[in-house]
Amino acid sequence: MDLWHWNSPLGPLCLTQEGDSLVSLQFCDVLPPEGSCPTSLLAQAQRQLEEYFAGQRTAFDLPLRPQGTAFQRSVWQALQAIPYGETRTYGQIAAAVGRPKASRAVGGACHCNPIGIIIPCHRVVGASGNLTGYAGGLDRKAALLALEQRP
């Protein structure tokens, strides 16, 4: 397992690689030690995130391997189908995964999303369109959505 910490525009991010895949991207409170170097995959992930934050990238091209239950993985796959700059409700995601009454479970799967930003759980909003829950904090969720609305 390889780790890399990077200070993004929204705060420090911790990226984790296992084998040839990215398995985790979370907000954290740690910065990289002086002199450390990321693996080529983690450097590529950082580069794509830098492009995303600069408004130059709308989709990621990285090998991902999120670990979770079959239901969680189906939700995370549905999240990746939400186009850049758009949102979906928890109910819409529940319907998309064939469990129309499971909007609360979808919220739980979003909360457990191990690869934030790249698997865009920030694009999921409440039924009224209000921002609800985000493991990175609602201020970061609002900032990510605002970033995706920039011309």
Q: CA–CA separation, 71 vs 60, rounded Å?
A: 23
Q: Tell me the β-bridge partners of 24.
A: 16
Answer yes or no: are the C-beta atoms of 89 and 124 closer than 8 Å: yes
Which of the residues 28, 37, 112, 121 is marked catalytic?
A: 121
Q: Which residues contact 46 (CB under 8 A, 6 or more apart)?
A: 4, 6, 15, 38
**Rounded CA separation 131/122 (Å):** 9
Contact 40, 84 (CB under 8 A): no
Q: Which two tokens stand for residue 107?
A: 């919220």
Spatial CA neighbour of 116 closest among 71, 69, 64: 64
**Token pair in block for residue 54:** 């600069």
Is 110 in the active site? no
Known catalytic residues are 121
